[in-house]
Structure 1
């Protein structure tokens, strides 16, 4: 009996430990790092306690291999001082797969419970941001506080892109799994959908609605679409009535001159960049750097490409505030820092995720990998702790326990 109670207690602690890794993501990084350390110590304790032979899921070795390759890049790095940070910054790639593999997750409800806590955590964070937005609006009468970075910033400087990613995943978890009572689930779904629109990440807003519409068409829920599409249009109209959001959309459509971005030799410090224009220019810089230095296989070294990119910003006479900007594209960022070998490992993880999701018929896992694949086009998401921990933790959880759809 004592052994059974001990096992149950360890299971509960493990559940809390993994949940904390996700729930603390929107909070300060040191809290999240402490959660990862706590989970790692617990996993080590349980591994020794079970006296079972250690084994790892083969795909998880790709995470560890990615970490090892980043650390090895120190030896050929063009900026060894920066590359030395690989061991500290990328530790989640090493610790999380091992820890999640070894902690006790035999219960079929393991992943569902953890993701339920994470989704509720994102609801609480959203309410917190909306409260601050209301306070700021009352004081200034400025509606911008309800949108984009202005909305997410009160949450310890949280980026709207990453918060949108967390909320979009939470939304689809509720959509596919329906872990709460029907009316509760519907209220939370509607609330999170509103938050996705307010946070105004173009990639995630469009992706969310296209996935929803495709799923409804696949399941032949035409009546639901008749109600759903007008509702979405009204919400979008209300959201984009903000002057700030209007300006962002207008600038993207009218001010991006592709030919100018690709051919101009000196932009000057007053050049008006759009999001797409800047990312196109960064892709151009990537091509020019690799064409010049031939760092195809190994890259410049972890984080060492930033110095080279900054040199390009200076060469094209960009405003100094841009000098700290990375490639804003994880595929380019990984190739620049870790070469084609690093990119292949990253693509291997994404492809194996898609394969596992399709084989196990897990729409939630499929949507998760799809969202990560898309957001990596516009953000160097895996080079930030928010994105790194989110990706590795959820990948491992869903790979070990792919959740089949339970909601109609």
Structure 2
């Protein structure tokens, strides 16, 4: 009896600490006191002292997804054999610790209910809402002045690409709750919250977040169409749309020029196009071009450069191409390239598997929240090193673990017949 009471208390404390982490993720880089880091330490400490070590070990031993996810951190330990800048290597490993700790803690702890998962999304969304309010402290008119993006960047406590990514995820989570709640008042409140974050994305002027949001809407619309109409009509419509787009590009000279510039990494003219629209594109063309150049040299793409070496090599390339990028020591601005720069093909393969392996059952069993999360992460990784900043690392590691170990179904209806069989599926998956 005493053991059950202790276990119940431990589970309550565990869930409270998860709420604490979720709420503080958006503050990871915006506050002078690193409360987000403290929340990770407290969660890990509770996991260590809460007992049930045999059960935790069994879950650790049998959970293949857990080993895959922790591989994103462990592969960097191999990179230590070739580290260059000791300070850079140590700082990176400390920031990446959540990639090890969250899968380990969440993957071996008591399973959460759907309601508890919803509460974690709410806690995260509330934290994001509060941190977003600081952006408006000098008035909305200042933010709407697109000619003064520097001021808007200064007012945003969270790095804009991450604030945009977080806002898209908040919309995904709020939409999930909107579909499941029947109360009119709650649905109105959720709709207003969705509209707020759509407005916040507009204020942020983060182009990739807008692209990701559009891509997710199209993806979910296609999934809905497939469910209602079947695969063949949707496939036929997709082919027709693709042919129409190809015909339009072949007939429109400006569309052909834009496509050529994008595919060949050719700079867009600041005189011909909106400077705020194309500046980040031109910068990323240099980031990506230098990354590819470094990877090709001495076949670095095979094993990578190790921890602490990538920035120095990129800087050597930036120096000759763009003094501003060199002075700001910009990274690859592409998580796939960055992972390959550090850990070669093995690191890139682990990253791709971390996305693809849970994505398949999420799609198959219509776990749309996790599917949307994975798709959002995969899209944002194209233009950002999501797993280089603390906010991005915590966001991915935390919610990926929450969804994978508490919401993901790897079996069909047979696995849902009893709670016991569901737990078996969870532990083996």
Please tell me the TM-score bracket, short chain as reference: 0.7 to 0.9
Counterpart in the other structure of 2:108: 102
Q: 1:146 to 1:24 in 2, by over 3 A?
A: farther
Q: 1:368 to 1:3 in 2, by over 3 A?
A: same
Cα distance in 2 between the residues matched to 1:340 and 1:64: 17
Cα distance in 1 between the residues matched to 2:8 and 2:143: 52
Task: Output one character per residue of 1:101-156: Cα deviation in whole Å (capped at 9) or x when no partner.
Answer: 233334342212211221222223333433x142x85xxx674399977456445x
CA RMSD of aligned residues (A): 3.1
Contact kept, 8 Å, 1:70 with 1:86, in 2: the verdict is no
Contact kept, 8 Å, 1:11 with 1:105, in 2: the verdict is no
Contact kept, 8 Å, 2:216 with 2:376, in 1: the verdict is no
Counterpart in the other structure of 1:240: none
Q: Tell me which moved more, 272-281 or 162-171.
A: 272-281
Cα distance in 2 between the residues matched to 1:145 and 1:285: 30
Counterpart in the other structure of 2:354: 349
Contact kept, 8 Å, 1:310 with 1:323, in 2: the verdict is no
For residue 297 of structure 1, give the secondary structure of its aligned residue in structure 2: helix
| Shift in Å, 1:290 | 2.3
Task: Output one character per residue of 1:367-404: Cα deviation in whole Å (capped at 9) or x when no partner.
Answer: 11111111100001111111111011111111122279
Counterpart in the other structure of 1:121: 127
Counterpart in the other structure of 1:173: 173
Task: Output one character per residue of 1:236-293: Cα deviation in whole Å (capped at 9) or x when no partner.
Answer: xxxxxxxxxxxxxxxxx79x7987958xxxxxxxxx9821112112222122222222
Counterpart in the other structure of 2:400: 395
Cα distance in 2 between the residues matched to 1:85 and 1:195: 31
Contact kept, 8 Å, 1:164 with 1:201, in 2: the verdict is yes
Contact kept, 8 Å, 1:172 with 1:364, in 2: the verdict is yes
Counterpart in the other structure of 2:162: 162
| Shift in Å, 1:219 | 4.5
| Shift in Å, 1:329 | 0.6
Is the aligned partner of 1:360 residue 2:343? no
Is the aligned partner of 1:327 residue 2:328? no
Counterpart in the other structure of 1:236: none
For residue 383 of structure 1, give the secondary structure of its aligned residue in structure 2: coil
Cα distance in 2 between the residues matched to 1:206 and 1:260: 19
Is the aligned partner of 1:200 residue 2:201? no
Q: Tell me which moved more, 141-150 or 6-15.
A: 141-150
For residue 296 of structure 1, give the secondary structure of its aligned residue in structure 2: helix
Cα distance in 2 between the residues matched to 1:390 and 1:376: 13
Is the aligned partner of 1:144 residue 2:155? no
- TM-score, scaled relative to structure 1: 0.78
Is the aligned partner of 1:280 residue 2:285? yes
Count of matched residue positions in the alignment of Structure 1 and Structure 2: 356
Residue 185 (structure 1) aligned to one of 180, 186, 190: 190
Contact kept, 8 Å, 1:203 with 1:375, in 2: the verdict is yes
Q: 1:133 to 1:317 in 2, by over 3 A?
A: closer
- TM-score, scaled relative to structure 2: 0.74
For residue 327 of structure 1, give the secondary structure of its aligned residue in structure 2: coil
| Shift in Å, 1:349 | 0.2
For residue 294 of structure 1, give the secondary structure of its aligned residue in structure 2: helix
Is the aligned partner of 1:90 residue 2:93? no
Counterpart in the other structure of 1:34: 38
Task: Output one character per residue of 1:26-71: Cα deviation in whole Å (capped at 9) or x when no partner.
Answer: 224521111111111111222x246525122211212322322212
Task: Output one character per residue of 1:144-184: Cα deviation in whole Å (capped at 9) or x when no partner.
Answer: 399977456445x3111101111110111111233762221
Counterpart in the other structure of 2:248: none
For residue 208 of structure 1, give the secondary structure of its aligned residue in structure 2: helix
**Unmatched 5+ residue regions in structure 2?**
226-257, 268-276, 410-429
Cα distance in 2 between the residues matched to 1:184 and 1:5: 37
Contact kept, 8 Å, 1:148 with 1:201, in 2: the verdict is no
For residue 381 of structure 1, give the secondary structure of its aligned residue in structure 2: coil
For residue 407 of structure 2, give the secondary structure of its aligned residue in structure 1: coil
Is the aligned partner of 1:73 residue 2:74? no
Contact kept, 8 Å, 1:335 with 1:343, in 2: the verdict is yes
| Shift in Å, 1:14 | 1.2
Contact kept, 8 Å, 2:387 with 2:393, in 1: the verdict is yes
Q: 1:145 to 1:121 in 2, by over 3 A?
A: farther
Contact kept, 8 Å, 1:328 with 1:378, in 2: the verdict is yes
Contact kept, 8 Å, 2:315 with 2:326, in 1: the verdict is no
Q: Tell me which moved more, 171-180 or 305-314.
A: 171-180
Residue 48 (structure 2) aligned to one of 44, 47, 55: 44
